[in-house]
Structure 1
Amino acid sequence: MAKNKYFFPFIMVTSLFFMWGFVHNLDPILIPHLKKSFSLNILQSSLVDSAVFIAYLLVAIPAGILMKKYGYKTGILSGLVLFAIGSFLFIPAANTQEYSFFLGALFIISCGLTILETAANPYVSLLGDPETATSRLNFAQSFNGLAATMAPIIGARFILTEGYSDEELSTMTESARQIALASEASTVKVPYFILGSLILVIAAIFYFLRLPEVEDKDESKSLNVFRALRHRHLTWAVVAQFFYVGAQVCVFSFFILYAVEVAGISNVLAADYLGWGCGLAFMVGRFFGVFMMKFIASERLLAIYSVICILLCLIATFSHGFIAIYAVIGITFFMSIMFPTIFSLGIKGLGSDTQYGSSLIVMAIFGGAVLPLFFGYISDLSGKVQYGQIVSLICFCMIFAFAVKGYKVINPQTKNYA
């Protein structure tokens, strides 16, 4: 997979994919948990995603500049420290019982994740043979899929306690109700404290680990990030990634609310379907995608999977019961290869613009802050969570356009296809 000198660094960097995948896939647990604790509607609860993914808009470019000047290791360490700080902030957030404090803690975590993703995605691509970069990145991202399986199952047991029903809460005095909701909100303390402590251990390992720096032939060290957009296929990749992440967040974050509505199951059982169903399908889809890329070009496979996701979105929007749930699980299988495939196709042939191109594609993760708001608005307006899947359908249409034409590399000087 990687040359021998890259083997251990590849393992350690791949572990980061698991860690940020784990914390991201706790968000679907937090949404119904905080929705109940603070009596929120769907649009208000979607601010969890906005707080997480707005960091990608604000921090991705500074992260690219940081690594351009000081290297990938500095970026990784900076990201891990912010990740740990945000995790520990969940303790005072639970103590103060302020929704805005929770959102602030999530934002700080996400600032760390933004730096990590800006560093790790291109670094994995560059640790080995360029011809296998897409497969290598898909392999590393497969551990993100493993996290998507484990996080909802583990998180539900710690965070989604049965607690009091809405009927029971409505019969309580205001003071008793506040005490009960405070008790439920406090369930986030232990898992996030453990997570923050683990991240500090990983940061210590990276501090002492000797990571090979990839040679940058650009002697100017220019800070003009947007010069990378002279590459047409990168611009397409930024747009495609914006819509892909929006689709992924809509599918995963609202799954518990969606499953409860269409099949009438409990939150905890819905979380199990999210983990063993969506998470496992996402992970298996990644490994299967790596295998299929040995026989089918990555851009062609991306196009095929986009069409399948469009069809499954239609089923998820207009069907009911477990058929609807299985359709969403199918979406997670076929969208599993999309992020790393779009990423690797987007930074292909960028040369000295690779770090900045990475920043711009990571910045596009901001789609996860914007598109779930439309999902929540449509759900509240229609009174049905499943109608929000129309947003996901539109996203997959945009990804299909990238897979058919937008991925093609054009030399910015000659305007010829490479």
Structure 2
Amino acid sequence: MQSTAPKQAPSLAQVPEAEHNPHTGALVIVTILFFMWGLLTSLNDVLIPHLKSIYTLTYLQAMLVQFCFFGAYFIVSLPAGALIRRIGYQNGAVTGLMIAAGGCALFYPASNGGYGLFLFAFFVLASGITILQVAANPYVTVLGPARTASSRLTLTQAFNSLGTTVAPALGGILILSTVALSADQLAALPAAEQAAHKAAEAAAVQGPYLALAAALAILAVLFALAKLPKISHADDGAPAVDGKGGAMAYRHLVLGAVAIFLYVGAEVSIGSFLINFLGEGNIAGLSHADAAHYVSLYWGGALVGRFIGFAAMRYVSPGKSLAVTALGSIALVLTATFGEGSVAKWAIVAVGLCNSIMFPTIFSLALHGLGKFTGQGSGILCMAIVGGAVIPFVQGMFADTIGLQPSFLVPAVCYLFILYFGIKYANLHKQPVSAG
């Protein structure tokens, strides 16, 4: 493994490097996990307008779904890191899968228990996914040569995007197939019919999420039986400054955590509001079920872009690629914010293509040269995914006050910082890394 700092050793000790990759099988198994949490995360974009309609929520109240879901990343990431250090990466992934299965199973009683129980189910589900994130992301970075870590993580993220692409279309068919009533239409019904309609709408989630719970439980069993290489953190990585600070002593990690916070926040926020945005009369006037197909296209853009990025980033600087895609996202979001009709519709959908390489690129740049602090750094970056809770909440507040379309300026501002991060660390892979 190529050194990035004086006397720096490989960050994970028991995964030998070779000219060919001996861990292809392990990489395939881990990639399945990326697909599953992409599927589960993207289903939120279908459930948010569904629950908003059932419980007549404001945009701010509807964004409590993402607040609870991504808030779990902030609360659970550090305990997840400690758990994985104690029981190992493979057992940690199995534990995460079982917790996520339990969260999916909770959607059955939630359909009869009200919005609060739905929010609790989202939190439990996301807690399991968080454990998977903490285990799988650093795992991918060491299952092959260090010089292609960004490319490899981009490839696995492509399968994460496959899950996010499939989920909205599937959710549109299984969950949004019934005709949702507006608040005025619902209020015009007798009380008994209102209750019956809400119960039927809420029950639409039961079958899909029970099926997901069963799939996750089966995957946990298969993952537990799989023969994966044992990996553990080395003790001879890069030192902290004067023995203090740990991973937080590295400025590129700190800025990378901010970038992850804003990127995840912007991506999730756009996906969360997309169905409602496409339902606006001056944009497309689509029903929820029809708009769900465009959410699939939004996430599908990330899927296509990650396969392109997997090849291109073997030759192009990760930082430069990040800056270019961030600039593209800013231009597209501004077009959607100030445009109308098909131009605005396709501009916001196309942001998904620009999002494609951002998460894996920021993640790998932020972990670059951390040595034995790689695991700690991964936990910090996963905590930063809480941006998916905060940024949609902020945009929801603006959507309720200044309008839905102008509120898209919030993700545009997020991409500005990512542009800065990409420019600042355009050549990080060529530079010695030191703390401070």
Q: What TM-score range do you get, normalising by the shorter chain?
A: over 0.9
Please give the alpha-carbon distance, in whole angstroms, between the structure 1 residues aligned to 2:35 and 2:170: 14
Superposition pairs for residues 319-334 of structure 1, below 5 Å? Answer: 319-334=339-354
Superposition pairs for residues 176-255 of structure 1, below 5 Å? Answer: 176-218=193-235, 227-255=246-274
Letter in 2 for 1:111: S
Match of 2:7 in 1: none
CA contact (8 A) 2:53 2:181 kept: no
CA deviation map 1:91-143 (0-9, x unaligned): 000122x1010000000000001110111111011101111100000000001
Match of 2:50 in 1: 33
2:335 to 315, 321, 325: 315
Match of 2:86 in 1: 69
Please give the alpha-carbon distance, in whole angstroms, between the structure 2 residues aligned to 1:239 and 1:406: 14
Which sections of structure 2, spanning at least 5 residues, go unmatched? 1-17
CA contact (8 A) 2:236 2:371 kept: no
Superposition pairs for residues 141-156 of structure 1, below 5 Å? Answer: 141-156=157-172
Please give the alpha-carbon distance, in whole angstroms, between the structure 2 residues aligned to 1:410 and 1:400: 22
Shift of 1:293: 1.1
Normalised by the length of structure 2, the TM-score is: 0.90
Which sections of structure 1, spanning at least 5 residues, go unmatched? none
State which drifts further: 41-50 or 258-267: 258-267
Please give the alpha-carbon distance, in whole angstroms, between the structure 2 residues aligned to 1:373 and 1:164: 24
- What's the secondary structure of 1:217's corresponding residue? coil
Cα distance change of structure 1 residues 362 and 185 upon mapping to structure 2, 3 Å threshold: same
Please give the alpha-carbon distance, in whole angstroms, between the structure 2 residues aligned to 1:328 and 1:29: 17
Q: Does 1:294 align with 2:310?
A: no
Cα distance change of structure 1 residues 307 and 402 upon mapping to structure 2, 3 Å threshold: same
Match of 1:56 in 2: 73
Letter in 1 for 2:171: G
CA contact (8 A) 1:76 1:115 kept: yes
Letter in 1 for 2:286: I
Please give the alpha-carbon distance, in whole angstroms, between the structure 2 residues aligned to 1:396 and 1:180: 41
Normalised by the length of structure 1, the TM-score is: 0.94
Please give the alpha-carbon distance, in whole angstroms, between the structure 2 residues aligned to 1:127 and 1:282: 23
Superposition pairs for residues 263-274 of structure 1, below 5 Å? Answer: 263-274=284-295
CA contact (8 A) 1:59 1:111 kept: yes
CA contact (8 A) 1:66 1:75 kept: yes
Please give the alpha-carbon distance, in whole angstroms, between the structure 2 residues aligned to 1:240 and 1:65: 24
CA deviation map 1:280-312 (0-9, x unaligned): 211101111122213311110101111111111
Shift of 1:4: 5.1
CA deviation map 1:26-60 (0-9, x unaligned): 00100010001101011110111001000011011
Instruction: Please identify which structure carries the higher helix content.
Output: 1
- What's the secondary structure of 2:216's corresponding residue? helix
CA contact (8 A) 1:81 1:203 kept: yes
Cα distance change of structure 1 residues 168 and 341 upon mapping to structure 2, 3 Å threshold: same
Letter in 2 for 1:319: G
- What's the secondary structure of 1:385's corresponding residue? coil
Cα distance change of structure 1 residues 320 and 354 upon mapping to structure 2, 3 Å threshold: same
Please give the alpha-carbon distance, in whole angstroms, between the structure 1 residues aligned to 2:272 and 2:51: 13
Letter in 2 for 1:324: A
Q: Does 1:400 align with 2:416?
A: no
Matched positions, count: 409
Q: Does 1:133 align with 2:149?
A: yes
Match of 1:370 in 2: 390
CA deviation map 1:153-206 (0-9, x unaligned): 001111113335225422211122011111111000000000010000100011
Shift of 1:368: 0.6
CA contact (8 A) 1:2 1:10 kept: no
Letter in 2 for 1:78: T
Q: Does 1:356 align with 2:376?
A: yes
Cα distance change of structure 1 residues 294 and 217 upon mapping to structure 2, 3 Å threshold: closer
Please give the alpha-carbon distance, in whole angstroms, between the structure 1 residues aligned to 2:98 and 2:245: 27
Match of 1:389 in 2: 408
- What's the secondary structure of 1:26's corresponding residue? helix
State which drifts further: 355-364 or 400-409: 400-409
2:135 to 116, 119, 128: 119
Superposition pairs for residues 42-53 of structure 1, below 5 Å? Answer: 42-53=59-70
CA contact (8 A) 2:44 2:66 kept: yes
Letter in 2 for 1:35: K
Match of 1:259 in 2: 278
1:306 to 322, 326, 329: 326
Match of 2:12 in 1: none
Shift of 1:230: 1.0
CA contact (8 A) 2:21 2:143 kept: no
Please give the alpha-carbon distance, in whole angstroms, between the structure 1 residues aligned to 2:421 and 2:83: 29
Letter in 2 for 1:138: T
Match of 1:8 in 2: 25
2:190 to 170, 173, 185: 173
Cα distance change of structure 1 residues 308 and 164 upon mapping to structure 2, 3 Å threshold: closer
Shift of 1:216: 2.4
Letter in 2 for 1:265: L
Letter in 1 for 2:300: L
Match of 1:163 in 2: 179
Moved over 4 A (4+): 1-4
Letter in 1 for 2:295: L
- What's the secondary structure of 1:380's corresponding residue? helix
